[in-house]
Amino acid sequence: MGNIAQPTDPRLQQVLNFPLVSGIFGRRSRRFGFGMSIPTGPLAYTSQHEPLPLCDLERALLVSAATGVTGWNFGIPFTTNQSEHLSNYSLRLTGRTVPSAASIGTSELFFTDDSGVYITRTRDLTPEKLREFEDSDDVTRIIGVSRAATVQLSKQRLSLPVEPPHYDEHNLWNSNRPGSTLFMPMGDVGQQLLALLAMYVSNGYTLYDDYSGCLGGKLQPFIRTGIINDTPQMRFALSHIEQAAYSTTAMELSLICQNIVLMMQAIGLGGWMYSGIFPYSVLGAFANEGIGGLGFRFTNREDWVMPNPIGLDGIYESLCPPYVTDMYEAARTLAARKFGVGGTYDPATGGPFQQSEAIKATALPYSQAQIDCIGEMAQYIYTTYGRFPARFPTILLRIYAQAHHLELEFYDRFFAEGAYLQTHAEHMQRWHA
């Protein structure tokens, strides 16, 4: 796939020269775009422009800002329980534009526009060097990597009824409208939780189910053999680790949207980050009512308020049934991703160090007993609660970013001077002349 712009393109130069501080302090939620209308009230206004989709370069820059590959991340360099070895906590050493707790990195980016629905999958790509972006000539190559990692899932824009509960009332007039691009970052809370369980087991901690008041599985054999320790200070609560898995995943998704919004300022696009679309509508929980959403698979139980999203078959699947036989297999799969051939700590796969092969070779793989212990804890959660995690969605969609072309006349009419940046003022002339 060829480049869509040369590094000397003045549009790219505008983005490369845009001050970070201007983006941080100039960022606002600029919700009114081409083709939109506020029907009544003190800010009633109808756009004087037809909807205008983002051009290829605009969209590519936003996608690359969201999850572009930046090189190798540094992992975790030291932990006391493996003091003579490289820490084996990280699940992925692929560096991207957003940080991830313990380098677990479960997120991927979905987006939709007038041309269809897409996913960009960069979390498991192998970087070519420590820093992929070192000078302006690198930007088109980085964009190219994200473009090659983008797969079209549908030729139609994601369509939801423009009414509650699918959209919040204050977003009916402008959310996912023609001409806009809606970004939908997803996180795998189940995979995040499994990786955190592995970290705790490697430190000898014992899972305690504080929801039910008992150990989290048949853990006595692992306690007797010293794999884990059941002293009071070595117990960790299920509620605590699930909150950690959920919150760290949610933070990652928020940072993806923040990166998109900052790039909007550099380009001169309108838009904002928000949570006013019902995630279950987007994922496909109302498919039996003819609202297909993205077509995710759900599990359900009579005592659940909402069904639980677990994956999009063949595209974005969590490590839980039916994508694995059981959570014991999930634990083995996690271990293989870290320590198997081509895995995170395979010395042959490269890394951030001068002597990556030698340093990565010191990482301790999980023992079979540790893998069995991780599987026992995970299977307990799944068997007891019918899902993994027990109290949080397996796949998390909660925050969105939308980009559109800004209706300057609306802001000139109603807002004080300074309502938009110079990049917004000059955008149409620079990018669409």
Q: What is the pLDDT of residues 313-332, one digit of tens each?
A: 999 999 999 999 999 999 99
314 burial type by CB count under 10 A (0-12 exposed, 13-18 middle, 19+ buried): exposed
- Does the pLDDT at position 67 exceed 70? yes
pLDDT beyond 60 at 191: yes
Instruction: Estimate to the nearest angstrom the gap between the alpha carbon of 262 and the chain centroid.
Output: 17
Q: Where are the domains of the chain?
A: 10-432
Contact by Cβ (8 Å): 368, 395: no
- Residue 360's closest CA among 147, 129, 74, 122? 74
* Exposure letters 237-274 (e unless 16+ CB within 10 A, then b): ebeebbeebbebbbebbbbbbbbbbbbbbbbbbbbbbb
The stretch 290-300 carries a mean pLDDT of 97
Cα separations (Å) of 168 from 26, 34, 161, 277, 411? 26, 21, 11, 6, 23
Q: For residue 241, give the nearest of 195, 303, 302 by alpha carbon.
A: 195
CA 372 to chain centre: 29
Q: What is the mean pLDDT of residues 61-68?
A: 98
d(CA 325, CA 310): 14
Q: Work out whether strand 150-154 and strand 181-188 pair parallel, antiparallel, or are unpaired.
A: unpaired
CA dihedral 63, 65, 66, 72 (to 10 degrees): 120
Element (H, E) at 425: helix 422-425
Q: Taking a C-beta distance cutoff of 8 angstroms, is the pair 283, 309 a contact?
A: yes
SS3 153: strand
Q: How far does the chain reach from its first CA to its final CA, in angstroms?
A: 25
Please tell me the predicted confidence (pLDDT) of residue 136: 87
CB 107 within 8 A of CB 123: yes
Each residue's pLDDT tens digit, 338-362: 999 999 999 999 999 999 999 999 9
Six-digit token pair at 367?
A: 């023992």
The CA distance from 141 to 2, in Å, is 9
β-pair type (206-209, 235-237): parallel
Q: Which of 368, 366, 313 is nearest to 337 (CA)?
A: 366
Give the phi and the psi of residue 92 in degrees, each rounded to 5. Answer: -140, 140
Instruction: Give me the mean pLDDT over the 13-26 stretch.
Output: 97
SS3 category, 196: helix
Q: How far apart are CA 335 and CA 200, in angstroms?
A: 14
Residue 2 has pLDDT above 80, yes or no: no
Strand partners, 185: 109
Inform me whether the pLDDT recorded for 3 exceeds 70: no
Segment 122-170, tens digit of pLDDT: 999 999 999 999 998 899 999 999 999 999 999 999 999 999 999 999 9
Q: What is the pLDDT of residues 248-274, one digit of tens each?
A: 999 999 999 999 999 999 999 999 999
Does 71 score more than 50 pLDDT?
Answer: yes
Ranges 99-108, 131-140, 414-423: which has the least confidence: 131-140
- Residue-wise burial string across 338-355, b where 16 or more C-beta atoms lie within 10 A, e elsewhere: bbeeebbbbeeebbbbee
On the question of pLDDT at 7 being above 90, the answer is no
Q: Residue 80 above 80 pLDDT?
A: yes
Percent of the chain with pLDDT over 70: 99
Residue 414 three-state SS? helix
Q: What is the DSSP pairing of strand 400-404 with strand 270-274?
A: antiparallel
Which two three-digit tokens encode residue 82? 């493996």
Q: Domain 10-432 classified CATH 3.30.70.80?
A: no
Strand partners, 95: 71
The Cα–Cα gap between 111 and 97 comes to: 17
| Cβ neighbours for 296, distance < 8 A, ≥ 6 positions apart | 283, 284, 309, 310, 311, 312, 395
Q: What is the pLDDT of residue 98?
A: 97
Q: Per-residue pLDDT for 388 more than 60?
A: yes
Model pLDDT, residue 1: 40
Q: Which amino acid is located at 104 in the chain?
A: I
